[in-house]
């Protein structure tokens, strides 16, 4: 039994993976709340059986890693293992010349998407709509093609509101694609359209480059927000990073 942990910029997600059955037993998520993280870890994990391994994808830095390390050591006497981005792994060649600079969460999502969909022998587009929005391409042969990174839906709104003197408004959470007659809805609509329009443009370009054959995968906390506005058909995989960790745990080589 492996505990798989995805530490993002705003949430911590986890899955308990049953090695014998190659399936997931239980799962959960918690908001990133640094002062209360020790209590949150114990609250969510205290009922779990002792895992054989704890595998972690962490993009939030060493402080939360130290908290998690102390928690799993105290609870189960297990040492957490932090996966790292590699030049090549599980059939995928990293496009970055300095491969370590590719975020490990993106690498896990890429590995998971390739392992799950490579049988279709199509290029793959992986979109992660989280704190940041990332788009990565994988060729039919498993060559990572590189990617795009831009602010996520919430971050775009916050950047606009925090860096303009004449927009004193509250960030909206209900998206719209209609013309707006208030500043609040204008910010909301603009950021929403910018996000899904960028995704649509990249997908169109990839389809042109690959003869229209493209497998599209989307993950991240804002995935459901944009799904209905995407022109291509997307497979929604909410736990793609965690599935990448499952691959690294040795279940799928």
Is 137:123 a contact under the CB 8 Å cutoff?
Answer: yes
Q: How many CA atoms lie within 13 A of 164 on its CB side?
A: 12
pLDDT at residue 166, as a whole number: 64
Is 23 inside a domain boundary? Answer: yes
The model carries a pTM of 0.93
Q: Is 105 a catalytic residue?
A: yes
Pairing between strand 53-58 and 81-82? parallel
Instruction: Summarize pLDDT for 61-116 with one digit per residue, the tens.
Output: 999 999 999 999 999 999 999 999 999 999 999 999 999 999 999 999 999 999 99
Task: Name the active-site residue from 46, 49, 98, 105.
Answer: 105
Is 218 inside a domain boundary? Answer: yes
- Please name every residue paired with 93 in a beta bridge, in sequence order, or none if there are none: 88, 143
pLDDT at residue 140, as a whole number: 96
Instruction: Summarize pLDDT for 197-247 with one digit per residue, the tens.
Output: 999 999 999 999 999 999 999 999 999 999 999 999 999 999 999 999 999
Is the predicted pLDDT of residue 164 greater than 80, yes or no? Answer: no
- As a whole number, the mean pLDDT across the chain is 91
Is 232 inside a domain boundary? Answer: yes
Is 10 inside a domain boundary? Answer: yes
Which domain range does residue 78 map to? 2-82
* 69 and 176 belong to one structural domain: no
Is the predicted pLDDT of residue 253 greater than 80, yes or no? Answer: no
Spatial CB neighbours of 86, under 8 Å, sequence gap ≥ 6: 94, 99, 107
Is the predicted pLDDT of residue 252 greater than 50, yes or no? Answer: no
Tell me which residue of 194, 188, 195 sits closest to 167, measured CA to CA.
188
């Amino acid at each position: 039994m492996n505990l798989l942990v995805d530490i993002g910029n705003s949430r911590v997600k986890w899955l308990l993976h049953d090695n014998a059955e190659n399936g997931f037993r239980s799962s959960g998520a918690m908001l990133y709340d640094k002062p209360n993280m020790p209590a949150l870890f114990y609250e969510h994990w205290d009922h779990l059986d002792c895992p054989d391994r704890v595998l972690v994808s962490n993009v939030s830095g060493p402080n939360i890693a130290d908290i998690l390390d102390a928690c799993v050591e105290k609870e189960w006497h297990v040492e957490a293992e932090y996966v790292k981005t590699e030049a090549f792994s599980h059939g995928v060649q990293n496009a970055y010349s300095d491969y370590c600079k590719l975020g490990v969460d993106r690498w896990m999502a890429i590995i998971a998407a390739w392992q799950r969909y490579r049988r279709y022998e199509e290029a793959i587009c992986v979109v992660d709509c989280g704190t940041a929005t990332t788009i990565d391409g994988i060729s039919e042969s498993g060559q990572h093609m590189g990617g795009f990174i831009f602010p996520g839906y919430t971050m775009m709104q916050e950047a606009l509101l925090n860096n303009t003197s004449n927009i004193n408004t509250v960030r909206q959470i209900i998206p719209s694609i209609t013309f707006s007659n208030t500043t609040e809805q204008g910010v909301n609509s603009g950021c929403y359209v910018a996000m899904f329009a960028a995704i649509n443009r990249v997908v169109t370009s990839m389809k042109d480059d690959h003869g229209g054959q493209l497998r599209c995968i989307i993950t991240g906390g804002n995935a459901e927000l944009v799904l209905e506005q995407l022109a291509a058909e997307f497979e929604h995989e909410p736990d793609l990073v965690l599935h990448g960790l499952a691959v690294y745990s040795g279940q799928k080589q």
